[in-house]
Structure 1
Amino acid sequence: MVGDMFAPPRWAALLATPLVTLGVAIGPADAAAAHQPSITPAVTRAALDPALVAGRGAGVAFAEQEAERAVTTGVVLSPDRTAYTLASEASGRSAVTLDPGEYVEFTLPKAANAITVRYSLPDAPAGGGITAPLSVGTPGGTRTMTLTSQFSWLYNQYPFSNDPQAGLLHPDWWITECACVPAATEPAPVISKPFRPAHFYDEQRLLLGRTYRAGDKIRLTARQAPTTIDLLDSELVGAPKVDLGGVNVLLFGADPTGRRDAAPAIEKAIAFAKKIHRAVYLPPGVFQVNRHLVVDDVTITGAGNWYTKVKGHEVALDPPAADGSVHTGVGFYGKDAAQGGSRNVHLADFAIEGDVRERIDTDQVNAIGGAMSDSSISGLYLQHTKVGLWFDGPMSNVKVLGNVIVDQIADGLNFHTGVTGSLARDNFVRNTGDDALAMWAEKTTNSGNTFDRNTVQTPTLANGIAIYGGTDTTVSGNLVADPIREGSGIHAGSRFGAEPFAGYLRIADNTTVRAGTFDLNWKIGLGAIWFFALDKSINADIQVTGDHFLDSTYNAIMLVSDWAVKDQYSITGAHFKDIRVDGTGTSVVSARAAGGATFENVDARNVGAVGVNNCGSFHFTPSGSEFTLSDLGGNDGGWLSPFAPNVITCDDRPPVVAPPAPSAW
């Protein structure tokens, strides 16, 4: 989003302390005395008691434990939801910073032989990241993980910079922190550097070499650099999968050590497998691939994403490719839709690990790309690419099932332009640099697609789930937690040139946690779920049913248009039923558009301000707001009735009242 939507009063600068010099120095003994949990650290989901989100989100093999709930001699970061801070980008909005020699210790809740550590290291003074060891103490001894911040730390304005000392990328843009739009003849505004640091965290996995029991301790100790630990995921990984009937890439010369380029050998294996109608098998190992492998009518399986890794370097292209890419990198791509796309592609049970450290929107450096109809992607682990899966249609019937997508520079998954009859289910997505899960009906409509029972955590920009236009769309059973800035939990937007919403949009049985972010351009709080009519009206049949909005930082529900088009576009046909709102910093509903919505059995508690903020389209007519809220009954908590059907209560910036932690209803 760009532009000053409603020319609001100027607020103070929001930029927080930019580097990892947070908190005060606490010695190991003092810190340990200050933070000794009285009970065994709890297993959480999205930093909540799992009972509060039961039935929502992906089914995952690991147990999540938050560092701030573990025993530590480090500094527990105070909870924060302000952009550009380590705490705000952490799961649950808190983490633990360790100086060298300090530790955080977790108690395993069940048997495990593998861990994932989500962490942050400082950047190098000139950018580019550093590396530092982390000791992993177990009952069987101590191992070392070599952590890096080479894939973290972005700065400045979109599409961001890796240079902490860079000047403004767009000197003519309105700068929120100084509340100005510099004229072309004036010097650029003075900004503090590094400007808008973000994308602090990364994660790393480790097989422990043996199985440890429930109750055993895992101690993480910083050794050379301040190290912030967000959480530990522990898991019992099964034995490697073996496909004796598959075409083994080793037979064609693929190097499983990662030292030599394996792409030609894998391509030969694919060609042979297609001739004899067999699957391709990637055994345990690291296979170096530094370009796209084009796949069509083939099944490729690995030994499991902990054991089989397809890993590559980003490679500069000279000259650039016809599509505008200036780099290539590891990826499995269907043929371009203009060439008919690919069909019958099935990829399963391996990891794709890239080397993308900067955002260049023209680059095709995604883990999965192209067009793939009648295909499936399952059991993959995708890390350090630009986008985990970016599909360019027209294409149909792709199933994205049970994948882990982490540490992306941009989106996690995008069904883009003309994707139909497709499904993303049971995926776990964490630390994306843009929308985690998106459907974007640009130029050609999407139709009949579903996002179901996925988990999204800590997208550092934009939304957890975003639907940009399309027909007959379902978003159901998802869990979305901790969006950071310029977006929120679930979003439906008529924007970015998308085709209009048509048919139905069903948003059912989802849970958002600590959503409802502060928009840095508009300087107002968004809704945990929000609808935005920017390019055209939204008038499809919108059914929001059975959703839970927990601990929303600002509003739970928002319906908004842009000031420049507020008299052209409206939002109608939205129906909210059987909703639970447990905690808002401000309102249950914020309406900043013409139109209307119905509400039935929408129960709310712990509401920070008035139940409804209704500005309509800002004409403030004697007959009331241009947005109508129809009370269909059963709306408990007293939040709606005083304001229905169209009482004007326009106050975008009431004092925020932090709600208590969510609890059983």
Structure 2
Amino acid sequence: MSPSITGAAARRAGRPSRRAAVSVAAVTATALGLSVFVSGTALAHSGADAASAAVVTRAALAPALVAGRGADTGFAEQEAENAATNGTVIGPGTAAYTLPAEASGRAAVSLTRGQYVEFTLPAAANAINVRYSIPDAPNGGGITAPLDVSVNGAHRATMTLTSQYAWLYSQYPFSNDPKAGILFPDQWITECSCVPDQTTPTPTVSTPYRPNHFYDEQRLLLGRTYQAGEKIRLTVPAGSAASTTVIDLMDSQLVAPPKVDLLAANVLLFGADPTGRRDSADAIDKAIAFAKKTHLKVYIPPGTYQVNRHIIVDNVTIEGAGSWYTKIQGHQVALSTPAADGSPHTDVGFYGKDASAGGSSNVHLSGFAIDGAVDDRVDTDQVNGIGGAFNNSTIDGLYIDHTKAGMWFDGSMNNVKITDNTIVNQTADGINFHTGVTNSLISNNFIRNTGDDAIALWSDKVEDANDTIDHNTVQTPVLANGIALYGGTDNTVSDNLIADPIREGSAIQVGSRFGAEPFTGNLWITDNTTVRAGTYELNWNIGLGAIWFYALEKNINANIQVTGDNFLDNTYNAIMLVADFPVKDLYSITNVHFKDIKVDGTGTSVVSARVAGGATFQNVVARNVGAVGVNNCGSFNFTPAGSEFGLTDLGGNTGGGTTGPWLAPWELPNTITCDDRPPVVVPPVPSAW
């Protein structure tokens, strides 16, 4: 066997070297006509105007490389490693449990007291969002630390950063205690519950053990509009309690004025407190009841409203003034006795009625923020931003932060549209369609820093059917996948942008697991772009694919069309098809069809097959392939007839890398080319095709 990726290769895989990081900025600048700052060194074009130092990226790449894919967010993303700074660039690196691995683009800037990072605005803006990490408290629970914000050299504000909602430790489902050791000493010490448990001697571990989920983010309205070319400097004050402050990126945008609705049931008239000092849940309930009787909308004006429980919604429209102005703020409350659903806590959330009662209908939520106080993961807790079941409903323009799952729907339910939302910093999923969600849409959402799948269709007991996941952007899911499909029929995943999955997952997973119903009918995975995916599976000790087909509990044999997708800068493989070893002779993957695919850069192979079955390939173009194009192990029986997995060449499959054409004749139709852990060749920075 070849050695697994270690040392310098581990630090570099999936993200270019320091010199290549400069190249990322240079590519961006060339595409946008901008100059570049990298670690305080100006790479300026002569004659450029003041705004030319702004390096704008999407998923830490030049926007031209991901054009047409992902959400239209309305903000400009700027990576700290491309800005002016007297701090230290950390990364690039993908090693688990490290700050670079969880950073957007696998790199960030570390500041000590007195140091800064300075961004140049690429366009007019009156608001910023800073993604950062500061250390945990010695006994957990987080610390607070200031960050000074100045514009053009004049102090504007001081942000108070916190690590209260970051820093988890140990095994799934994790602990927020940095001194926590092994949580389950009688079990095999796995990375997640996806691997069967078995009794082995308990290892001795040092603490903090497996720290993760390092980052948080904070938004700030600047109070006035600044123009392109003006400079925003983030400085760590001399008296900061944080020994280091890591800045990953800054988003800037021009936020519209607050929305006013005079012809609605204003929650202030029912006793809601916009200062956040008093609980406003009862007042919001009263406004909802009045609005339903009078056929009005509910309006929540600018302010912070304390809500520490679920608001049950049915047949009502609730609008805020905009997610930057109207905040529904929760505090996680421990219950003396668990709720009927098993929850040991409660926190802020807007919930439809239970599916067993028919769910809620005609609910429309828009224009406000939901900010919970969830700092751990308890799987029985219903402490999600949005929950329950909704029919014929819309959820639009929300900002959801610090809840367990941003939106977790328990069906059966039909026709819900989830659009234009931002979901960040969750301890579990971003959006999960769980059990019989049909004819529904997840579109133009931005999801970053989830603790589990960012978007999932989970056909648990009842199929999810005729759903569409379209034009969403997913960044840095800490655990699991960017977009996960567990069973279902006639679903579509299209035009999404998924970047930087970190542990135990891929950008896109098609999985027969978690008790899901089988895949039936069709599954269309079209025109998506993945970036720096294909991570290392720490339980199996092998590299994954940017798209990962996994037959664990059933065959995967629906008609699956993977068409028009781009797999960029793959840490290991672009495509992986696998069955877990104990069931390798029980389940297969068939009827998968790849067409019009572009693969730019693989640490190892274009296709890694570790299962029986087969797939077709047509017009799959690859370049910068690090290892043999097809790593075909089949189901590891190594029969004289060859691999149990067959690759059918339908023509137009061109390109390759260090070992020649990726789909060479000697690899077809089922030649065994099995290398369990091929050495990694770090690909160059993606470029225009």
TM over 0.5: yes
1:439 and 1:170 map into 2 onto residues whose CA distance is 29
Partner of 2:170: 156
Following the alignment from structure 1 to structure 2, what is the Cα–Cα distance between the partners of residues 197 and 37? 35
Task: Check whether the contact 1:539–1:571 (CA below 8 A) recurs between aligned residues.
Answer: yes
**Structure 1 match to 2:311:** 293
Percentage of identical aligned residues? 70
What SS does the aligned partner of 1:197 have? coil
Contact 1:8–1:523 under 8 Å retained in 2:
no
Alpha carbons of structure 1 residues 184 and 92: separation in structure 2 relative to 1, 3 Å: closer
Deviations 1:106-126 (Å, cap 9, x if unpaired)?
Answer: 000000000000000001111
Does the C-alpha gap of structure 1 residues 182 and 597 become closer, same or farther in structure 2, counting only changes over 3 Å? closer
Contact 1:435/1:464 (CA < 8 Å) preserved in 2? yes
The answer as to 2:689 corresponding to 1:662 is no
Question: How far apart, in 2, do the equivalents of 1:568 and 1:182 lie?
Answer: 20
2:206 equivalent among 183, 187, 192: 192
What is the match of residue 641 of structure 1?
A: 664
Correspondence for 1:123: 136
User: In the alignment, does 2:555 pair up with 1:537?
Assistant: yes
Q: Could you tell me how far 1:189 is from its partner in structure 2?
A: 1.1
Shift of 1:184: 5.9
Q: What displacement does 1:193 show?
A: 1.1
Aligned counterparts of 2:167 and 2:622: Cα–Cα separation in 1: 38
Partners of 1:185 and 1:521 lie apart in 2 by: 15
Q: Does 1:76 align with 2:99?
A: no
CA distance in 1, matches of 2:572, 2:77: 26
Question: Which runs of 5 or more structure 1 residues have no equivalent in the other structure?
Answer: 1-6, 18-31
1:468-487 deviation per Cα after TM superposition (whole angstroms, max 9, x unaligned): 00010100000000000100
1:35 is aligned, of 24, 40, 52, to 40
1:393 equivalent to 2:411? Answer yes
The answer to whether the Cα contact below 8 Å between 2:39 and 2:84 also exists between their aligned partners in 1 is: no
**Could you say what secondary structure the match of 2:337 adopts?**
coil
TM-superposed CA distance for 1:11, in Å, is 8.8
Contact 2:520 2:558 in 1 (8 A): yes
- Residue 17 of structure 2 corresponds to which residue in structure 1? none
Distance 1:517 1:490 in 2: 12
Distance 2:184 2:630 in 1: 37
Contact 2:5/2:679 (CA < 8 Å) preserved in 1? no
Q: 1:95 aligns with which of 86, 108, 113?
A: 108
Q: What residue number does 1:211 align with?
A: 225
- The aligned runs of 1:15-414 (5 Å cut-off) are 35-39=40-44, 40-139=53-152, 141-175=155-189, 186=201, 188-223=202-237, 224=240, 225=242, 226-414=244-432
Q: Which amino acid is 1:518 matched to? A: Y
The answer on whether the counterparts of 2:297 and 2:319 sit within 8 Å (CA) in structure 1 is yes
SS in 2 for 1:272: helix
CA distance in 2, matches of 1:195, 1:8: 28
Cα 1:350/1:647, change in 2 over 3 Å:
same
Q: Distance in 2 between matches of 1:109 and 1:34?
A: 18
- Report the AA paired with residue 501 of structure 1: F
* Residue 651, structure 1, aligned to residue 675, structure 2: yes
Task: State the AA in 2 paired with 1:421.
Answer: N
The yes-or-no answer on 1:486 pairing with 2:509 is no
Q: What is the rounded CA distance, in whole Å, between the counterparts of 2:530 and 2:337 in structure 1?
A: 45
Q: In 2 relative to 1, CA 488–254 (structure 1 residues): closer, same or farther, beyond 3 Å?
A: same
Per the TM alignment, residue 244 of structure 1 is displaced from its structure 2 partner at its CA by 1.1
Aligned residue identity for 1:639: W
**Deviation string for 1:209-229 (max 9, x for gaps)?**
010010000000012121000
Q: Does 1:603 align with 2:608?
A: no
Map Cα deviations across residues 316-337 of structure 1 (whole Å, 9 max, x no partner): 1121012110001100000000
Relative to structure 1, the CA distance from residue 185 to residue 112 in structure 2 (aligned partners, 3 Å threshold; closer, same or farther) is: closer
Displacement after TM superposition at 1:166 (Å): 1.1
Tell me if the contact between 2:188 and 2:198 (Cα under 8 Å) persists in the aligned partners.
no
Q: Which residue of 2 aligns with 1:24?
A: none
Residue 35 (structure 1) shift: 3.4
* Secondary structure of the corresponding residue to residue 260 of structure 1: coil
The alpha-carbon deviation at position 493 of structure 1 amounts to: 0.2
Contact 1:631–1:641 (Cα < 8 Å) also in 2? no
2:624 counterpart of 1:624: no
Give how far 1:182 is off.
11
**C-alpha deviations, 1:56-80, integer Å up to 9, x for none?**
0000110000000000010001200
> For this pair of structures, how many residues does the alignment match?
641
Contact (CA 8 Å) 2:5, 2:680: kept in 1 or not?
no
Please state how far the C-alpha of 1:36 moved relative to its aligned partner: 1.3
Structure 1 counterpart of 2:580: 562
- Quick one: which amino acid aligns to residue 252 of structure 2? S
Tell whether 2:487 aligns with 1:473: no
Partners in 2 of 1:13 and 1:78 — Cα distance? 13
Indicate conservation of the 8 Å contact 2:392/2:415, yes or no.
yes
Distance 2:307 2:431 in 1: 21
CA contact (8 A) 2:2 2:679 kept: no
Whole-Å Cα distance in 2 between the matches of residues 10 and 586 of structure 1? 11
CA distance in 2, matches of 1:504, 1:565: 24
Instruction: Please state whether the residue corresponding to 2:100 is helix, strand or coil.
Output: coil
Shift of 1:558: 0.4
CA 1:494/1:184 → structure 2, altered by over 3 Å: closer, same or farther? closer
The alignment status of 1:582 with 2:591, answered yes or no, reads: no
Contact 1:455/1:480 (CA < 8 Å) preserved in 2? yes
Q: Distance in 2 between the 1:284 and 1:417 partners?
A: 36
Looking at structure 2, the residues matched to 434 and 589 of structure 1 have their Cα atoms a distance apart, in angstroms, of 25
1:183/1:216 Cα in 2 relative to 1: closer, same or farther (>3 Å)?
closer
Equivalent AA in structure 2 for residue 653 of structure 1: R
Alpha-carbon distance in 2 for matches of 1:37, 1:648: 51
Distance 1:376 1:81 in 2: 37
For residues 82 and 90 of structure 2, what CA distance do their matches in structure 1 show?
A: 11
Aligned equivalent of 2:611: 593
Where does residue 538 of structure 2 map in the other structure? Answer: 520
Structure-1 residue corresponding to 2:466: 448
Contact 1:598 1:631 in 2 (8 A): yes
* Alpha-carbon distance in structure 2 between the residues aligned to 1:420 and 1:53: 29
| In structure 2, C-alpha distance between the alignment counterparts of 1:321 and 1:34, rounded to whole Å | 51
Shift of 1:355: 0.2
State the structure with bigger RCO (CA 8 A, min sep 6), 1 or 2.
2
The whole-number CA distance in structure 1 between the counterparts of 2:409 and 2:670 is 42
The one-letter code of the counterpart of 1:172 is D
Alignment TM-score, normalising by the size of structure 1: 0.94
TM superposition shift of 1:246: 1.0
In 1, the alpha carbon distance for the partners of 2:156 and 2:261 equals 34
Determine if the alignment matches structure 1 residue 571 to structure 2 residue 592. Answer: no
Distance 1:264 1:8 in 2: 63
1:106 partner amino acid: F
- The worse-fitting range, judged by mean Cα deviation, of 654-663 and 165-174 is 165-174
Secondary structure of 2:249's counterpart equals strand
CA–CA distance in structure 1, aligned partners of residues 200 and 65 of structure 2? 55
Q: Is there any run of 5+ residues in structure 2 with no aligned partner, and where?
A: 12-36, 45-52, 656-660
Task: Please give the alpha-carbon distance, in whole angstroms, between the structure 2 residues aligned to 1:565 and 1:536.
Answer: 9
> SS at 2:71's partner residue?
coil
Cα distance per residue 1:267-299 (max 9 Å; x no partner):
000000000111000000011100000000000
Do the aligned partners of 1:37 and 1:69 also contact (CA within 8 Å) in 2?
A: no
Q: What root-mean-square deviation, in Å, do the aligned CA atoms of Structure 1 and Structure 2 show?
A: 1.9
Q: Matched residues in 2 for 1:182 and 1:339: separation?
A: 37
Equivalent position amino acid for 1:51 in 2: A
